[in-house]
């Protein structure tokens, strides 16, 4: 009765998502996990919150742990190129059959124990529970769990004794749910800090760090705040730098395969996290640290998907991420002509994004992502026109990619100047951009 195939499992989750949407709070998921035997308590957890940088941190730390021989699970959201990428072990996505099995078991539990629809979990809560159950069943040595939104009331915040909490870069996003000031948002993210368990904090503005430190003090949690990197050398294929950790140990010539000026700062959090893991019984050598961060990959974050012309995609979907993208553009593409393809969601602060980025482009094409929350391309183009008059709304992503490539080639032919295409905005449409580019060059 409760055996499901992958299609049925996805349809079940989608129906619940349509009915319930996002609901913050922990009561329903705690009740669900209890009837499942509390699988979240079976696997050591690194719990990660933040507005930006969670995915890059997770990619690097999981790569380090896998290199060190640990069976490492990760739970991330949203997925970008493959739905199943949100649940992974050692870089491999959960299979369709494994996903269907976990959702089927949860459906059975819900049908038998939660007859009242108001008390039933959301789709995100169901998939969070499925991740915990999967990691337990596969006997993971450790799992890195990203919050979905916020922290204190996020469905992932059900682990009372994680190995550590990690709080990445924080900026204004999801204000309707998390608060209308940076301090309120930071306090919400800091809600993942647990009693007498350490926390690593991405070094950032004083008001954010002070807010997090107040929560850490209340929880008697040892807090480590990352410091700036040193001797940084940027390249489009890797970044190298040195770092001095909280215990004054020096790490020279660290090399990261992930591009973006901000990746050195994300890697600093990984270094401090590895130190805490080693002090909690893990055995991660310097060799594993260096090799793990060097080989880490994370799709859709300042990722080059093509050459001649260079074509990058990036999930810059809020003002903080837009600032980091601007810094990378200024570092990597000085003197080059920029062409943007943009698609955003209507509930994002897209005007602040355009204030930072629109003026740097030679030409901009806007698209409407295939998402019920999408901002129409025409409305985004209207916003952009205040900062850059060279903008056009395009009916399809395929057409926008074609037009951007043609424009880049035209610029190079007519002026001899190099052009770079950057597609950014909502993570939800980057897979379509990558597919459209592949179809264009075949």
234: part of which helix (H) or strand (E)? strand 230-234
- b vs e for 115-127, b when ≥16 Cβ sit within 10 Å of the residue's Cβ? eeeeebbbbbbbb
| Residue whose token pair is 């610029």 | 411
Residue 246 CB contacts under 8 Å (≥ 6 apart), including other chains: 224, 225, 227, 272, 275
The CATH label, of 2.60.120.920, 3.40.640.10, 3.40.50.300, 3.90.190.20, for the domain at 303-441 is 3.90.190.20
Domain with CATH 3.90.190.20 in the chain: 303-441
Q: How far is CA 117 from CA 18, 28, 397, 433, in A?
A: 13, 11, 38, 38
| Fold assignment, 6-295 | 3.40.1190
Domain with CATH 3.40.1190.10 in the chain: 6-295
Give the C-alpha separation, 182 to 215, whole Å: 15
Q: H-helix or E-strand containing 250?
A: strand 250-256
Element (DSSP H or E) covering residue 72: strand 72-75
The Cα–Cα gap between 242 and 219 comes to: 32
Report d(CA 170, CA 229) in Å as an integer. Answer: 19
Per-residue 3-state assignment (H helix, E strand, C coil) for 395-426: CCHHHHHHHHHHHHHHHHHHHCCCEEEEEEEC
Q: What are phi and psi of 424, to 5 degrees?
A: -145, 175
Give the phi and the psi of residue 425 in degrees, each rounded to 5.
125, -135
Q: Over the Cα atoms of the chain, what is R_g?
A: 22
- List the chain pLDDT tens, one digit each, 442 residues: 467 899 999 999 999 998 887 777 899 999 999 999 999 999 999 999 999 899 999 999 999 999 999 999 999 988 888 999 999 999 999 999 999 999 999 999 999 999 888 888 999 999 999 999 999 999 999 999 999 988 999 999 999 899 999 999 998 665 555 657 889 999 999 999 999 999 999 999 999 999 999 999 999 999 999 999 999 999 878 899 999 999 999 999 999 988 888 999 999 999 999 999 999 999 999 999 999 999 998 888 889 999 999 999 998 888 888 988 999 999 999 999 999 999 999 988 899 999 999 999 999 999 999 988 899 999 999 999 999 999 999 999 999 999 999 999 999 999 999 999 999 998 889 999 999 998 876 5
Q: How many helices and strands (H and E) does the chain possess?
A: 15, 17
Residue closest to 428 by CA, chosen among 115, 10, 79: 79
Cβ neighbours, 10 Å, residue 103:
23
By the 10 Å C-beta count (0-12 exposed, 13-18 middle, 19+ buried), 192 is classed as buried
């Amino acid at each position: 009765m409760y055996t499901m195939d992958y299609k049925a499992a996805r349809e079940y989750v989608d129906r619940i998502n349509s009915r319930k949407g996002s609901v913050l709070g922990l009561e329903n998921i705690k009740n669900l996990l209890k009837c499942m035997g509390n699988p979240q308590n079976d696997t050591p957890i690194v719990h990660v919150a933040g507005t930006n940088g969670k995915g890059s941190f997770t990619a690097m730390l999981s790569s380090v742990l896998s290199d060190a021989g640990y069976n490492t699970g990760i739970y991330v959201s949203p997925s970008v190129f493959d739905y199943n990428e949100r649940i992974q072990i050692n870089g491999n996505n959960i299979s369709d059959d494994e996903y269907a099995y976990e959702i089927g078991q949860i459906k059975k539990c819900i049908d038998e124990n939660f007859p009242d629809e108001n008390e039933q979990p959301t789709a995100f809560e169901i998939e969070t529970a499925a991740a915990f159950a999967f990691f337990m069943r596969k006997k993971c040595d450790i799992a890195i769990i990203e919050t979905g939104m916020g922290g204190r009331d996020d469905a992932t915040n059900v682990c009372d004794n994680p190995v550590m909490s990690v709080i990445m870069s924080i900026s204004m996003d999801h204000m309707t749910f998390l608060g209308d000031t940076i301090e309120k948002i930071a306090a919400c993210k800091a809600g993942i800090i647990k009693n007498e368990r350490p926390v690593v904090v991405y070094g950032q503005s004083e008001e954010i760090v002070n807010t997090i430190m107040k929560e850490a003090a209340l929880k008697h949690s040892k807090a480590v705040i990352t410091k700036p990197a040193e001797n940084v050398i940027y390249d489009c294929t890797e970044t190298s730098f040195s770092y001095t950790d909280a215990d004054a140990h020096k790490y020279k010539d660290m090399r990261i395969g992930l591009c973006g000026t901000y990746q050195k700062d994300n890697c600093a959090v990984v270094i401090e996290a590895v130190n805490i893991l080693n002090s909690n019984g893990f055995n991660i050598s310097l060799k594993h640290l260096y090799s793990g961060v060097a080989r880490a990959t994370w799709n859709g974050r300042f990722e080059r998907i093509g050459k001649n012309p260079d074509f990058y995609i990036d999930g810059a979907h809020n003002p903080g991420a837009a600032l980091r993208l601007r810094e990378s553009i200024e570092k990597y593409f000085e003197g080059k002509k920029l062409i943007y393809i943009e698609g955003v969601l209507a509930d994002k602060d897209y005007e602040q994004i355009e204030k930072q980025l629109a003026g740097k482009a030679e030409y901009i094409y806007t698209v409407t992502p295939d998402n019920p929350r999408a901002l129409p391309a025409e409305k985004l183009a209207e916003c952009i026109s205040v900062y850059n008059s060279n903008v056009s709304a395009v009916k399809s992503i395929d057409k926008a990619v074609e037009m951007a490539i043609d424009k880049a080639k035209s610029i190079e032919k007519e002026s001899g100047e190099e052009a770079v295409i950057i597609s950014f905005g909502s993570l939800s449409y980057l897979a379509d951009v990558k597919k459209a580019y592949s179809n264009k060059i075949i």
